[in-house]
Amino acid sequence: MTQTWFITGSSRGFGRALAVAALGAGHRVAATARRPEQLDPLVAEFGDRVLPLALDVTDPVRTAEALAEAAARFGRLDVIVNNAGYATVAPIETGDDADVRAEFETDFWGVYNVSKAAIPYLRAQGGGLVVQFSSVGGRVGGSPGLASYQAAKFAIDGFSRVLRAETAQFGVRVLVVEPSGFRTDWAGASMQVREVPPEYSGTVGAATVGRAGGAGFPGDPARAAEILVQVAGRADVPEHLPLGVTAVDSSLALGERLLAEGRRWADVGRSADGDRPYPAPFPPDVARI
């Protein structure tokens, strides 16, 4: 079945790869970008199956207008992709508060704006798929220098869990995508690197050097896009989809650690309820580094 996709951040990276993959599979795409002229090559290649739209996702009014234009043009909206975002690198101690707030405006509030404005269309037509681009950092976290980025991605996951619970009754499905390192411009033009003081050279500084430019990342965005287009056509869609070896392996390792820790402290945690045995024995107090 031909689908209509609405993709934010379609000018480059995952957004562009997804637009190309969806169009290549015969679907229609409302492609958005802050500078819609960057979408001209898509229009030239795929014609009227592409609707280029100017959109800054931090603007809720324009977001609602863009979705309305897409729905009016194509008649329905089947797949909503929240891809637009960027990263700012800085230690928490010395980072600029304004940077953190600005990043949340795009990386979280942009997702919120698009998702909220899309719900009425999906509910009225009896369903659809919302694809939220998070990161392996939005599940595992702990990457030095990426506090604001990963905090926003964790927020996306929490928001998406509630969105899923509220809209499943309308046939709406929500998929959180969690990539690891891919050869996009995430670590290039889409990343702002602030000054790293000497005290953090071995953590934030070293990590920043390691991810500079992203050229050495193994992830292939074209492959990832093809996978997601195929997933969007399935009845069985996962709630979370790590993409890339690092994303899969680190997510599985985290799950195993959390399960082991949860079991280790389960009796202590349960003992806080008034109807449970108290006190409960604590696990052995062994220092872990």
Q: What is the pLDDT of residues 233-285, one digit of tens each?
A: 999 999 999 999 999 999 999 999 999 999 999 999 999 999 999 999 999 99
Task: List the end-to-end C-alpha distance of the chain, in Å, as a whole number.
Answer: 53
Mark whether 88 and 160 lie in a shared domain: yes
Pick from 110, 94, 89: which is nearest to 191 by CA?
Answer: 89
- Catalytically annotated residues: 134, 149, 153
Mark whether 219 and 195 lie in a shared domain: yes
Residue 211's pLDDT band (cuts 50, 70, 90): low
Mark whether 177 and 192 lie in a shared domain: yes
Return d(Cα 274, Cα 100) in angstroms, integer. Answer: 41
Mark whether 67 and 184 lie in a shared domain: yes
**Residue at which a domain ends, from 208, 225, 243:** 243
Mark whether 236 and 271 lie in a shared domain: no
Mark whether 151 and 118 lie in a shared domain: yes
Inter-residue contact 207 to 188 (CB < 8 Å): no
Structural domain that includes position 205: 4-243
Mark whether 151 and 260 lie in a shared domain: no
Write down the pLDDT at residue 87. Answer: 87
Number of domains composing the chain: 2
Mark whether 157 and 286 lie in a shared domain: no
Residue 198's pLDDT band (cuts 50, 70, 90): confident
Mark whether 132 and 231 lie in a shared domain: yes
Mark whether 55 and 168 lie in a shared domain: yes
Write down the pLDDT at residue 190. Answer: 62
Helix axes 60-74, 109-125, angle to 10 degrees: 30
Q: Which two tokens stand for residue 100?
A: 């953190």
121-166 residue pLDDT tens:
999 999 999 999 999 999 999 889 999 999 999 999 999 999 999 9
Average pLDDT (174-178) is 97
